[in-house]
Amino acid sequence: MLKVLLVRHAQCEMNLHITERIGGRTNHSPLTELGEQQARAVASHLRTTFHHDAKPAKDVRFFSSTAVRAVETAKAVMAALEVEDGLVQSEQLLELEQGEFEGAVRRECFPPELIASFAADPWGVAYNFAPPRGESQRQVEVRMLAFLQQQVLPQLLPHQQAVVVGHGMAFKCLLRGLLGSVPTMTRNIALGNTSVTEIGFVPGKGSNASSGEWHILRVNDRSHLPDDLRS
C-alpha cells in the first residue's frame, strides 16, 4: 500500500479574520506565531512517525500548494527531517477558489434559501455550485485527485511515503470523492490546522495504477497538538 499524509497548513493570519467572512485562497497569508509553533509540533510528530517506521528522509516525498502558509508549514516539516530541498509546489493543491466571494460576509453569500437548495439537491446544486469567478467542489475534487494520481503516486515506491501540505476545503473535497459521499458531507468533515489525514492506495493489477483502490486510514489527527496550541 502506498501511503499519503495530507497535512493541513498551520494557523495563518487569515484564520484570525474569517469567522464571519470567507477566506478563500488568500495565498499571501503567512503563519501566525501560534501557527509557527503548530508547524514545529506537527514536524516533530512526523519525524517521530517516520523514525518509528524506520523510514529515512530520502524515502519521503514532499508536496505543497504554492500558498505561503502551506509552503511555510511544509518547510518546517522538512527542516525537522533535515531535508533541505525537494519540495514540489503546485497550484493544483490550492484552496477552493472563492472568486468574488473572497473576503465577503459569509451569510450574505450563502443565504438560507441557497443552503436549503444544497440540501434539497446535493448532486445538482451543491456539487456544481461555484461563486462568480470561483470553482465548484466538483472541480476541486477533480484537480486534487488528478494531482495525486499523476504527480504523487508515480513518484512513490512501495516503501516510500508522501507528505502533501494543503488546505481544509480542498482536502475535504478530495475525501468526499474518495468516500463517494454526498457533496454536502464536506461540511461534516473536521480538519483542523496541522491535522494529519492518512490515505492509502493499493495499485490495481497491470500498468494502469489509477485502477487501484483508495483507503481512508485516519482523519483529522491532531494528537500532536497540546491544548494551548489548538486553534
Catalytic center residues:
9, 95
The answer to whether 128 is a known ligand-binding residue is no
The answer to whether 15 is a known ligand-binding residue is yes
The answer to whether 69 is a known ligand-binding residue is yes
The answer to whether 97 is a known ligand-binding residue is no
Nearest to 220 by CA among 187, 200, 191: 191
The answer to whether 8 is a known ligand-binding residue is yes
Residues 47, 24 contacting (CB under 8 angstroms): no
Cα dist from 211 to 162, 203, 208, 214, whole Å: 19, 7, 6, 10
Question: Percentage helix, strand, coil, to 5, in the chain?
Answer: 45, 20, 35
Strand duo 87-90 + 196-202: pairing: unpaired
The answer to whether 109 is a known ligand-binding residue is no
The answer to whether 144 is a known ligand-binding residue is no
- Going by the annotation, the residues of the binding site for substrate are 8-15, 69
Known binding residues: 8-15, 69
